[in-house]
Amino acid sequence: MFSIASTNFSVTLFAAAALATLLLARVIYQLFFSPLSAIPGPWYAAISDLWILSHVIRLQQCKTVHELLETYGPVVRIGPNRVVFKDLSTTKSVYSVHKFDKSVYYKSLLTNENDHAMTTLEHAPHSIRRKGYAPHYTPNNLAQFQPEIHDFARDLVQTLNSISGEKSVDCLTLFRQFMVDVIVTSSYGCRLGALKKWALGVEDALCTAISDFPKRGILRSVVPTWMWNLVCKIPNYRWRQMCDSDKIMAEFVSARVYELRAQMNAGKLHESEKVPMLQRLLKYRYSSTGELMPDTDIISEAMGHMIAGSDTTSTTLSYFFWELSRRPDMMMKLRAELEEVMHDSMSVPDITVLQSLPYLNAFIKEGLRIYGAAPSLLERVVPSHTSKAGDVEPFDLMGFALPAGTVVSTQSWSLSRDPSVFPSPETFLPERWLVEDTSLMSAHLLPFGFGTRVCGGQNLAQIMLRVVVASIVKNFDIEAPTETNARSMEMRDSFVIFPAAMSCLLTFVPRNN
């Protein structure tokens, strides 16, 4: 018996020693012999992804990476196989010239357990998908939906007028309802009425699911599948609602797909200049096969656009108005400019008029610089490249040779806070955009991404930011209650940003009061 116990102990000891040796060997390799070992960065980041993962879980990856870039320079190693850079020419090379494929991180954002444009990793299939929806987001096509957009803007003003400044409202929720109404109308050709439901004290289930989906995505990206399946069985209604957010959205979109297809098959759809995005997708054929886009892809694509377009814009708008609540000087300048073109408080000018207003556009640009909703790492994978001689060549990233498979990325957060381009980068200063030459600043302003994978809906977002700012500034004074402050509004990030308090309470006081 003693002999058996002694033997088991010896085996256990040997296994532990072997494991320790392997771990030590891995550490030594990553620190001194890895192809990335020459790249500066904290030593503990080089040996394991756990360090940067801890900051992802704490919702502070953007700030952490920014601090590393300030400490170590424009190229930093943040993991055994991950490198971050801050350089405009390299950004163009990675995202536009060479068009590197995305990393597997984006798979955590699958909709209906299927790919959409954002989660399609390879460049070629993404390009095919993009052609299906790109015509919808051209300025000329979006102009067709201005009457509906203006209707929703009036609904927004009337809703806030009915509250009459008697209580604060959560802007994240308010503007999410508004944006979902806009996107549902332009995408599916029907009206949801989410904002009107909210005014009656009822939040639409679809809006809740859209709000929950990013949280669901970040959880799925950091836990194994078996654990995710387990935690989704926790018997808590609100928790299960978040886990089911993907399913809730899929059911809504699926119903719209089947309804519209039935109308098309019955010949009940008439040709019109105003074509909802879903109608385009139902008619779209993949150039690679010549076949119609399958329903599974249409559903996941439409879901992706609904998520990307609503929560991001609502978050950015919330931060815009919080900034205005603290800056009466900006409020007065915006209002003076808007009153030159808005003679009726309930009528929003054509978007071409809003786009011509210097201070409004400077305010929007500065707001996107600091409060762009998606300032996080845009991960790409270095491809395998073979020279004419048949040798596998590494990718030269600012003097460092990166082997194929290395994950490289930059982040808008750091590019838009470069003090050599934006003096006093943390100061909200619209006037910096009112100079004659803004080309260098504009090149460092990437709130919608860069290159061929740039956000497809950025034109719609730009329209909505101007329409909502104009409508609110013209009609309301904005106040922040004591619970809405620098601490509650401190930015957290899970690819997209949101306030630390998970809300943005503001009071909108009608000017006629």
CA distance 507 to 296: 42
What 8-state DSSP symbol labels residue 399?
T
CA distance 307 to 304: 5
Give the residues across from 257 on adjacent strands.
Answer: none
Both tokens assigned to 238: 């609100």
- Chain position carrying tokens 């759809």: 269
- Chain position carrying tokens 């679809």: 206
Q: Does the annotation place 455 within a ligand binding site? A: yes
Both tokens assigned to 505: 């309470």
**Strand (E) or helix (H) holding 359:** helix 358-371
Both tokens assigned to 275: 């074509």
- Give the HSE-up count for residue 36: Cα atoms under 13 Å, Cβ half-sphere: 26
Backbone angle region of 193, left / alpha / beta, with phi > 0 → left and psi within -120 to 50 → alpha: left
What 8-state DSSP symbol labels residue 116?
-
Among 199, 191, 208, CA closest to 160: 199
What 8-state DSSP symbol labels residue 452?
G
CA distance 15 to 212: 44
Among 142, 136, 138, CA closest to 350: 142
CA distance 408 to 499: 27
Q: Where are the beta strands (DSSP E) in 324-405?
A: 380-381, 385-386, 392-393, 395-397, 400-402
Q: Residues forming the annotated binding site for heme? A: 455
Q: Residues forming the annotated binding site? A: 455
